[in-house]
Amino acid sequence: MGETVESRWARYAVEGVLLDGFHALKHALRFGARVPVAVATDRRAALALAEELAPDLTGTLDGLLHEVPAGTLGALVPRPHPTGVAALALRDVGTLPAAPDREAPLVVLDNPRNLGNVGAVVRLAAGAGAGGVLTTGDVDPWHPAAVRAGAGLHFATPVERRPVAGLPDGPLFAFDPEGDDLRSVTLPAGAMLAFGSERRGLSAEMRARADRLVALPMRPQVSSYNLATSVAMALYHWLARTG
């Protein structure tokens, strides 16, 4: 008797990365993720979605997707995606390039607290061609909620968690209201762009590690930007200067 979908899922669940939804699976496959098991509550609908949005993957998905009842998907995934698709991928991704070989900036999130924000930043970094995303603190950037918010693009750019003391070499530009206006700053090749937590801002350790404090332009009496918005502004500034 062959292995069931449920037993295959259980076999990879401990070390696998949950891809929650069609778009997460699509991006993971496009960027070389190994996906040992994928399920859909409506296989025909999922393949039709692939034909519409990802025709390059239709053949791959045709051989990969197993149809399961909605109840089975609900038992496998805490919060099933509206597309009714889920998968597990193996977490064997690239490492961060060393400073001398790095042109694009690294995004550093200093003790982020919101997993949705972490995923949104990974999605931004992948789209902008950043060198990777590093987080500090106790939040796992590969948590299923972060991967869901990142639409599977964790496989398109290196994503790691390190202590501040373990950050790679290279100039570190930390974003803080007391810094120099970003519009007056030229970001050098291989720079690290550090952003504080949503509530408390930069840690004392990150401020001490910074080579320069940089501020985003902001209208007076507006408290702050969303974390992902702040990262987007900084990466756009880099892209505009290098594009």
- Provide, rounded to the nearest whole percent, the portion of the chain with pLDDT above 70: 95
Instruction: Tell me what pLDDT residue 241 has.
Output: 78
Q: What are the CA-CA distances from residue 209 to residues 141, 168, 188, 212, 238 (Å)?
A: 22, 11, 17, 9, 21
The string of pLDDT tens digits covering residues 60-107 is 999 999 999 999 999 999 889 999 999 999 987 666 766 656 789 999
Higher-confidence position of 161 and 95: 161
Instruction: Tell me what pLDDT residue 32 has.
Output: 92
Instruction: Tell me what pLDDT residue 183 has.
Output: 93
Of the candidates 123, 136, 130, 135, the residue with the CA atom closest to the CA atom of residue 105: 130
Structural domains in the chain plus CATH codes: 5-90 (3.30.1330), 99-242 (3.40.1280.10)
Q: Mean pLDDT over residues 41-62, rounded? A: 96
- 90 CA to centre of own chain: 15
Instruction: Tell me what pLDDT residue 169 has.
Output: 87
Reply yes or no on whether the pLDDT at 195 is more than 70.
yes
- Provide, rounded to the nearest whole percent, the portion of the chain with pLDDT above 90: 79
